[in-house]
């Protein structure tokens, strides 16, 4: 069952940070080096790191929910 909680501030800051770094990498790659593939060296690892962070957070929420169920009345 998907969580109805709003994403916390850290997730928003991470998304904004990834977007800013990605835009800067694209601008650098296109205008300074004329190489669009400079984006892959920066954006792909950042997106992979963000997805891994989301996976860890999901596992933490699942574990918390299971603990709450097992310690019930």
More confident position, 9 or 48? 48
Q: What is the pLDDT of residues 13-48, one digit of tens each?
A: 878 887 888 788 778 877 887 776 766 777 788 888
Secondary-structure percent of the chain, ordered helix, strand, coil, rounded to 5 = 80, 0, 20
Is residue 29, in this structure, part of any structural domain at all? yes
State the residue for tokens 């904004």.
Answer: 16
Q: What is the pLDDT of residues 42-65, one digit of tens each?
A: 778 888 888 898 899 999 999 999
Is residue 4, in this structure, part of any structural domain at all? no
Is residue 37, in this structure, part of any structural domain at all? yes
Is residue 35, in this structure, part of any structural domain at all? yes
Is this prediction's pTM over 0.85?
no
State the residue for tokens 């999901």.
Answer: 58
Other C-beta atoms within 10 Å of 29: how many?
19
> Domains in the chain: how many in total?
1
Angle between helices 38-70 and 9-27 (to 10 degrees): 170
Range of the domain at 43: 9-70
State the residue for tokens 């574990």.
Answer: 63
């Amino acid at each position: 069952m998907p969580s109805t909680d709003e994403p916390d501030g850290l997730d928003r800051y991470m998304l904004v940070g990834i977007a800013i770094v990605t835009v800067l990498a694209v601008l650098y790659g296109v205008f300074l080096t004329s190489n669009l593939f400079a984006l892959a060296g920066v954006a792909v690892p950042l997106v992979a790191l963000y997805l891994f962070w989301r996976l860890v957070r999901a596992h933490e929420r699942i574990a918390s929910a299971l603990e709450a169920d097992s310690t019930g009345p």
